[in-house]
């Protein structure tokens, strides 16, 4: 996987690049590009490909929230054990062990605020190791996965004339 890093950077820029596009960008042959990507996928380096969607632009009422979780572990339970349990829920879109004031950063998605709140209170909070949850609802997304969500206007400031 000699050219892996260069290909990974290009795929992160745009996962829809064709093998021909990637070959042109990297100076590699299409066969080398395809072979390297196959190796990266087989090794689990590339876990999947997803679209970055501005759900507000399509009128979706989906609600996303970031949930801070604090946990207390016992001798038989590890962070990985708690993470595996949380990751199994369909509502969980992202889960990270983090440093700082809390232990896990959980990204949750639901049809509405009530669904997200019920998920946190009925499914997450009762997990014995979880000692505290703090839910932050996402009000507006300006940038996600490196993509800016612009409203098309360059300047929202009001004009002032002397």
Q: How far is CA 66 from CA 10, 91, 92, 120, 162, in A?
A: 29, 12, 10, 11, 44
Q: Which of 127, 121, 136 is nearest to 71 (CA)?
A: 127
pLDDT for residue 154? 55
pLDDT for residue 9? 87
pLDDT per residue as tens digits for the range 128-161: 999 999 999 999 888 887 878 875 555 555 556 6
Mean pLDDT of the chain: 88
Q: Looking at per-residue confidence, does 148 or 92 come out higher?
A: 92
The overall pTM is greater than 0.85: no
Residues sharing a CB contact under 8 Å with residue 81, sequence separation 6 or more, in sequence order: 129
């Amino acid at each position: 996987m000699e050219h892996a890093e260069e290909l990974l950077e290009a795929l992160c820029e745009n996962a829809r690049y064709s093998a021909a596009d990637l070959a042109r960008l990297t100076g590699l042959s299409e066969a080398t590009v395809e072979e390297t990507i196959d190796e990266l996928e087989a090794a689990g380096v590339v876990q999947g490909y997803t679209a970055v969607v501005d759900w507000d632009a399509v009128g979706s009422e989906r609600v996303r929230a970031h949930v801070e979780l604090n946990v207390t572990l016992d001798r038989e339970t590890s962070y990985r054990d708690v993470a595996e349990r949380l990751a199994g829920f369909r509502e969980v879109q992202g889960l990270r062990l983090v440093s700082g004031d809390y232990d896990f950063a959980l990204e949750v998605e639901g049809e509405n605020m009530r669904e997200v709140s019920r998920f946190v209170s009925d499914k997450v909070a009762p997990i014995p190791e979880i000692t505290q949850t703090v839910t932050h609802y996402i009000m507006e997304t300006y940038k996600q996965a490196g993509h800016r969500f612009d409203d098309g206007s360059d300047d929202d400031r009001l004009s002032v004339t002397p």
